[in-house]
Amino acid sequence: MPHSWHHPTAAMLDAVAATQPRSVLDVGPGMGKWGFLCREMLDWMPGRLDRGDWQVRIDGIEVFPYASPLHDWVYDSVRRADVRDVVDECAGYDLVILGDVLEHFDREVGRGLLRALVRTNRNVLISTPVHFFTQHVADNDHEQHRSVWGPTDFEEFDHDLWIQTGASMVVLLAGVGATIPTAHDRRVNRYLNRVPVVAPRGNLRALVRRLV
């Protein structure tokens, strides 16, 4: 969607804070939500309000011509392209964000995209619905849902994963040069997501993570 649910927002921003990127690529920015929130956290909150003082680069790749003043205001650039066609050029970023994007690809295409992104970027941050539903927005064929993803789909990557209110899943993947998440996080997630009472993000989950 060019916009998104509120459910994954806190977990996504926690991941942005944990990784402290100096460069961000927002894949499928739509109206510009994640560019705005990243700019707020990474430049405005530290007091760099004037554009000339910004220290974080935030770029976007958008396949559909959504019109939003945020594109010119908070991003350094927004490129019109299908990420699948230019993925080899999407390299060297500290953080790549796919906010409600992965479900728009067939599963094997999505897996290939993730593999390519973690090979050339430090971290990849994902939000995606945990249930499949049809979607039609703005006469944009790219907005149709083609897959649904679960915790086991990320097993090949070192990752951390949270399920938000049974609606959205947030996943942070480790790429080249990443210090978080680790293989230990992947093992803990494998255990946690088999136990319904502790699978959602929360105090009980945090306790289990420290003990496992």
Task: Identify residue 49 by its one-letter amino acid code.
Answer: L
pLDDT per residue over 124-153, tens digit each? Answer: 999 998 764 465 555 655 456 568 888 888
Beta bridge partners of 163: 169, 200
Percentage of residues in the chain with pLDDT exceeding 90?
48
**Domain residue spans in the chain?**
9-211
**CA–CA gap between residue 63 and residue 59 (Å, rounded):** 14
Cα–Cα distances (Å) from 123 to 35, 59, 80, 175, 182, in that order, read 16, 15, 23, 5, 11
pLDDT at residue 106 in the model: 86
Q: In this structure, are residues 132 and 165 in contact, taking their beta carbons and an 8 Å threshold?
A: no
pTM, entire model: 0.85
Fold category of 9-211 in CATH = Rossmann fold (3.40.50)
pLDDT per residue over 73-123, tens digit each? Answer: 999 999 999 888 999 999 999 999 999 889 878 889 999 999 999 999 999
